[in-house]
Amino acid sequence: MGMIERYLRDCAEEGAFPGAAWVVGNAESILEQGTTGVLGDGLGPVQPDSLYDIASLTKIIVTLALMRQLEDGLIRLEDTVDFFLPSFKNSSLGAVTLFRLLTHTAPLPGGTMLYRHAHTREDILEAIRRTGLRDDDRVVYTCEAFILLGEIASAADGMALDDLIRLRVTSPLGMRDTCYKPPAVLLDRIAPTEDCPWRGRAVRGEVHDENAVVMGGVSGNAGIFSSAPDMTRLAAAVLDSLENPEGAFLKNPSAWMMIRNYTEGKGENRGLGWMVKGPGSAAGDLMSSRSFGHTGFTGTSLWIDPENGLYAVLLSNRVHPRRDNAGILRTRHIFHNLAVLSLPVRP
């Protein structure tokens, strides 16, 4: 039993999550992969193809779709919200750029629970239009920024967000199980999330994020379900795009542009969509300073280190049955440390 498997098994036994699936790989191959624990209370063991609500890792998939649109000349980072969403022309958010949305430096306040007062997708968008704005450009992580980016991506391609994600990301990468609103036939493979007080029932097979629920389950901030093999395909494609001068899934210049740190001294290190290693990141101790990644509230994470040629995928449902379980924060750091230590010794 490898170090990662032993460690994550212990985490499951100690209650950090009911179960998890993970993959660690480099440019050449998968180095370690496995599963531990169970899908949820009274359910069977996690399988390699088990599906998880990846929560805010949805933001990364939307970012990749936007980067492909940029490469096709459909968007640019200095385009504004109201260029794509005319209903924002009279809003103070109308002149905010895609760059500021992607780096979480848009003047949105963050932490607003839109779903408490909004009952439809249009209600959510109207609430964002009327949001009181901050007067600085510090990093404040918000779901509202990516709700808007999902709408912008949809407008740029002239199609529904779930369709364009399939067209631009999941189909090209062979991510066959990755989707919004998974069909009922997949339910037995899906890990449940929270016994949700807002909905009054346990959630399984529908998005955990409440704002995304009101958006109809398809949103730029959350809503996608995926498996460890599918997220591995995505991680390997991003790493290959960085390592291959000719470009791969993304062209090499746009791949590197995506992971620069644009927010030094503004509270967090942020690239375009991604978090770059720094204060508050989940990178751990041994990932290089050029590493980048993202986490999901439900207990998911993806971290990539171009200096070490490494990626690490961890999918769990740490919110099952309750969200007040913070063990995943320490778990991610140690998991990423062990991922770096799994690299072959260089001569």
Using one digit for the tens of pLDDT, what is the confidence trace for 54-82?
A: 999 999 999 999 999 999 999 999 999 99
Mean pLDDT of 169-195: 98
- Specify the pLDDT at position 328: 98
- Specify the pLDDT at position 182: 98
Residue 209 has pLDDT above 80, yes or no: yes
Residue 200 has pLDDT above 70, yes or no: yes
| Bridge partners for 315 per DSSP | 21
Find all residues with CB under 8 Å of 85, minimum gap 6, and list them. 148, 151, 152, 155
Residue 90 has pLDDT above 70, yes or no: yes
Q: How confident is the model at residue 247 (pLDDT cuts 50, 70, 90)?
A: confident
Residue 282 has pLDDT above 60, yes or no: yes
Average pLDDT of every residue of the chain: 96
Residue 25 has pLDDT above 90, yes or no: yes
Mean pLDDT of 193-217: 97
Residue 347 has pLDDT above 70, yes or no: no
Q: Which tokens is 339 given?
A: 């991922």
Residue 208 has pLDDT above 70, yes or no: yes
- Specify the pLDDT at position 112: 79
3-state secondary structure the chain: CCHHHHHHHHHHHCCCCCEEEEEEEECCCEEEEEEEEECCCCCCECCCCCEEECCCHHHHHHHHHHHHHHHCCCCCCCCEHHHHCHHHCCCCCCCCEHHHHHCCCCCCCCCCCHHHCCCCHHHHHHHHHCCCCCCCCCCCCCHHHHHHHHHHHHHHHCCCHHHHHHHHHHCCCCCCCCEECCCHHHHHHECCCCEECCCCEECCCCCCCHHHHHCCCCCCCCCEEEEHHHHHHHHHHHHHHHHCCCCCCCCHHHHHHHCCCCCCCCCCCECCCCEECCCCCCCCCCCCCCCEEEEECCCEEEEEECCCCEEEEEEECCCCCCCCCCHHHHHHHHHHHHHHHCCCCCC
- Specify the pLDDT at position 346: 63
- Specify the pLDDT at position 271: 98
Q: How confident is the model at residue 344 (pLDDT cuts 50, 70, 90)?
A: confident
Q: Name the residue among 227, 271, 33, 70 with its Cα closest to residue 153.
A: 70
Residue 221 has pLDDT above 80, yes or no: yes
- Specify the pLDDT at position 27: 74
Q: How confident is the model at residue 1 (pLDDT cuts 50, 70, 90)?
A: confident
pLDDT digits (tens, 9 = 90+) for 114-170: 999 999 999 999 999 999 899 999 999 999 999 999 999 999 999 999 999 999 999
Residue 300 has pLDDT above 60, yes or no: yes
- Give the angle 31-19-239 at the CA atoms, nearest 5°: 35
What is the pTM assigned to this prediction? 0.98
